[in-house]
Every structure is written in structure tokens, then in C-alpha cells.
Amino acid sequence: SLAEAVTGDGPMAARSALGLAAGLAESLCAIHAAGVVHCDLKPSNVLLSPDGPRVIDFGISRAAGPGMSTVSAAGVGWVTGSPGFMSPEQALGGEIGPPSDVFSLGAVLTFATTGRGPFGRGSRPELAYRLVYGPPDLGEIPAGLRPLVERCLAKDPDQRPTAGEVLDAANDGQPAPGWLPGPALGALADELAEVAEIAPIIRGAVALPADNPGGEPTRFVMTFRT
């Protein structure tokens, strides 16, 4: 996850962060086009891969519904989320829509490039208060990315860019080959090596019996513990 990569290997450089911004913005474009608000975009819900990031965990996502651009945060379960990454309107229990996810994207990009959220550290009430009323601390963000992050973190949802505009600002494209930081790429290589080792075992387990090539495959359950 992005959280593990930054915590273990340090903040991303500007080039990698722009690739992250483009990939996440593209994901949000697809999510919002489907009429869904993710509601919980944060570093632990972003997985890194050589061809771009992946957004996971739609456990508290909400569908805005036909003809609706927002959904009430009441009942979404925001109190179980991370105050440092949710939007002010979500924290206040108001109406949320795609701009809420864009705010979270700005917070995620801040974490990716500085190793901390835009509203610092502290207790949940302290973070929630700064989130709603305080300015974000963007001083350590690379200069080329800072104006975009600042727009994403606007308190007023109407002042934030859309996910499509973020994608345009991040060079309107997929993360280029080599966008992933070296340590994260090395960790992924180790994971892929392990998968390659067990792949023949899985293929053998699902093979049909030689004396019954037209029969039904055996039903089985395999559990993997990592």
C-alpha cells in the first residue's frame, strides 16, 4: 500500500507523485462516472503497482443515484475513517459528492510527498478541527505539485477541481514506466516471485483427471496465509 511504501521508504519524489496523481485521478473519474462516491480515499486504500495505483476498499462508498450529484454523509460511517484525509463536509455530516473524494486525493498526495497528512498529527478531535477550520501545511510538497494539491484541499467543494481536471494537470496520462519508486518496485518483485512459485501448484490442483477429460472439475477450497 501507499501507506506502507511511504512509511518504510520515505516520501515520493515529484515524478513518482505526479504519476500517482494521474493514476488516482483516472480511478476517481471512473468511480464518479459510475455515480459512486468512494468516501474513504486514504494511503492504506491505495495499492501500488508498476502500471499505476489501484483504489481499494469501497466499504463505506455510496451511490449518489440517478440525477443526484451528492449524498448525505449521515450514516456513511465517517467516524470510523481517518479525520486527516476526509473532506470537511464529510466530517461535518453534510452533503458529499465527487469533490469530497478530490479533497481526499489532495490529502493523499500530501502524505505521499511529505510522509504526513496536510493537517499534521494529533488526536481525532484535533485533526477534525484543523480539517474543517485550519489551513493545510503544504510547505514540503514539491513546487510543481503544490498548486494542484492546494486546489484539491479547498474548503469550499465548488472551488476544487474535478477528477478530470486533476488528470489534465497531472499530464493527462497513465503513469509512465518507471514511475514507481525503486524500493516499492523491489518489494513488488519479491511478491511476484512468490506468486510464480505457487502458480504451478494451483494449475495442477485445477487440472481435470486424465481418465475423465470431459468431466466436471473437482470443487475445492484453497486458503493462502500471508
- Going through 88-191 in order, the beta strands assigned E by DSSP cover 95-96
Concatenated DSSP letters of 57-117: --TT-EE--TT-S-EE-TTS-GGGS-TTTS-HHHHTT-EE-HHHHHHHHHHHHHHHHHSS-
Q: Which of 40, 51, 137, 168 is catalytic?
A: 40
**CA-closest candidate to residue 28, choices 101, 90, 110:** 101
**Torsion (CA) 116, 24, 134, 141 in degrees, nearest 10:** 50
Q: Which residues contact 165 (CB under 8 A, 6 or more apart)?
A: none
As a whole number of angstroms, the distance between CA 155 and CA 157 comes to 6
As a whole number of angstroms, the distance between CA 102 and CA 9 comes to 25
Q: Is 168 a catalytic residue?
A: no
As a whole number of angstroms, the distance between CA 139 and CA 81 comes to 25
As a whole number of angstroms, the distance between CA 221 and CA 16 comes to 39
Instruction: Give the residue numbers marked as catalytic.
Output: 40
